[in-house]
Amino acid sequence: MHCVRKVCEDLYWVGGNDHRLALFENIFPLPKGVSYNSYLLMDEKTVLFDTVDWDVCRQMLENIRHVLQDRPLDYLVVNHMEPDHCEGIEELLLRYPDLQVISTEKSFLLMRQFNYPVDGRTIEVKEGDTMSFGRHTIAFVQAPMVHWPEVMVSYDTTNGVLFSADAFGSFGALDGKLFNDEVDFDRDWLDEARRYYTNIVGKYGAHVQAIMAKAAGLDIRYICPLHGPVWRSDFDYLFDKYQRWSTYTPETDGVVIVYASMYGNTESVAQTLAAKLTEKGVRHVAVRDVSNTHFSDLIADVFRYSHIIFASVTYNLGIYPLMHNLLIDMKALNVQKRICGIIENGSWAPKAGSLIHTFLDEEMKQMSILNTELTVVSSLRPDKEGELDALAEGIVDTMGKGADA
């Protein structure tokens, strides 16, 4: 059965939703599913913007057939040549023998590498090129590294629709609700949108800034991303989030305490610190066990909060492996400009604290470390509580002051 939504005059969402896929990119859990968005423009020519993953390809084909009725598909614009948006290409080329594919030089190179049979059916576009399909004229804008090097976005100069590729996307299936104003985005979508952005595009903040600067000059009325809701209102809300995330500016004045604990003693310190902070009036305090929180959630948290407290046991003279992995992931995704606190635990030769300190200091950018570092020897005894209080004070004193505090 077809499942289509009208976006605006002449334009239809013809993508698909998937609740069965366990892991996006074979790594990120999808508790709320995922959508693959594909958009069909019905002008004097018919133009499809991107395709979908193989899992929902039949759904997309049925949707396209339903909207086209007996018309052929004339053009396919490929804004992003990642396979989750391209698995429909081959099938479309077979079904529509006159179909031509519009994309960038790099994108066609990738298409050939991935064995999509596009040869002889390509129209190459570059920055600033436009094509008219009747009433609608589309401008093509390069957006390299948002999130692959070949990416472009397409802008319909006639009605202000921006086909934004992976930018402004989110994990989560649409489940019938296409537009941002049909959902409570802040309540139901923001966490998954943050997890999507920070883990998928987070590394490329400077490139996201570049495309946002280009977008600022456009009269945008709709943003059509490749995953998640279509935006047709509240652009300031969305741009504010993207501005913060892409400049590594915290979204929330608050603390995420990430702990690694094998027997519960370090966990107990983390809980006590959380209680002390809450008592001191800090409203946003999150406590995460590094062993049972998926790293993609931890990455979303460290992008979100102004303060990160690392509380780790020493493990064979090193940092607990999962905590070490988190630090490596944070570095890989360019996390920076945070205020950090360190709590270490060791029973005979505590080392985790100094190693975390060195990592933050030498491997990462603009991480400000509170000088109230705390060493716990096996368990926190009452005579050490003053040191934990001092750490809590240091956190409260630097709240709202950014990483330069």
Ligand X SMILES: Cc1cc2nc3c(=O)[nH]c(=O)nc-3n(C[C@H](O)[C@H](O)[C@H](O)COP(=O)(O)O)c2cc1C
The DSSP H or E segment spanning 306 is: strand 305-315
> 301 with 286: CB under 8 angstroms?
yes
What is d(CA 138, CA 131) in angstroms, rounded to the nearest whole number? 5
Residue 35 is a binding residue for ligand X (CB under 6 A) = no
Minimum distance, C-beta of residue 185 to ligand X, in the bound complex (Å): 38
What is the closest distance, in whole angstroms, from the C-beta atom of residue 264 to ligand X in the complex? 5
Tell me whether residue 159 or residue 375 sits nearer to ligand X (CB atom). 375
End-to-end CA, the chain: 58
Residue 250 binds ligand X (CB under 6 A): no
Q: CA-based angle 383:386:388, to the nearest 5?
A: 110
Q: Which of 130, 347, 358, 366 binds ligand X (CB under 6 A)?
A: 347
**Taking CB positions, which residue lies at the least distance from ligand X?**
346
Per-residue contact flags (x/-) with ligand X for residues 262 to 281, judged by CB under 6 A: xxxxx---------------
**Binding of ligand X at residue 64 (CB under 6 A)?**
no
Looking at beta carbons only, is 316 or 371 nearer to ligand X?
Answer: 316
**Closer CB to ligand X, 40 or 319, in the complex:** 319
Q: What is the DSSP letter of 162?
A: E
CA–CA distances in Å: residue 180 to residues 193, 202, 230: 12, 22, 6
- By CB under 6 A, name the one of 52, 86, 313, 326 that touches ligand X: 313
156 to 77, 86, 161, 166, 286: CA distances (angstroms): 12, 21, 5, 17, 42
Q: Which of 63, 154, 306, 314 binds ligand X (CB under 6 A)?
A: 314
Among 378, 384, 389, 402, binds ligand X (CB under 6 A): 378
- Please identify, using beta-carbon distances, which residue of 107 and 345 lies nearer to ligand X: 345
Among the listed ranges 103-111, 129-137, 220-228, 310-318, the one in contact with ligand X (CB under 6 A) is 310-318
Q: List, in sequence order, every beta strand (DSSP E) within 120-251.
A: 122-124, 130-132, 137-142, 152-156, 161-163, 222-224
- Cβ-in-10-Å burial (0-12, 13-18, 19+) of 228 comes to buried
Contact pattern for ligand X over residues 144 through 183, marking x by CB under 6 A: ----------------------------------------
Q: Among 170, 261, 296, 398, indicate the residue that binds ligand X (CB under 6 A).
A: 261
Q: Residue 130 has which token pair? A: 């436009």
Half-sphere exposure of residue 118: CA atoms within 13 angstroms, side-chain side: 28
The minimum distance between CB 273 and ligand X, in angstroms, equals 14
Are 377 and 350 within 8 A, CB to CB? yes
Q: How far is the CB of 260 from ligand X (least distance, A)?
A: 8
Per DSSP, 276 falls in state H
Please select the residue that binds ligand X; options are 315, 342, 367, 395, rule is CB under 6 A: 315
Using CB under 6 A as the binding rule, whether residue 348 contacts ligand X is answered as yes
* Identity of the residue, 5 or 351, whose beta carbon is nearer to ligand X in the bound complex: 351
CB-based contact 93:118 (threshold 8 Å): yes
Of residues 316 through 335, those in contact with ligand X by CB under 6 A are 316-317
103 binds ligand X (CB under 6 A): no
Rule CB under 6 A: which residues touch ligand X? Answer: 261-266, 313-317, 345-350, 378
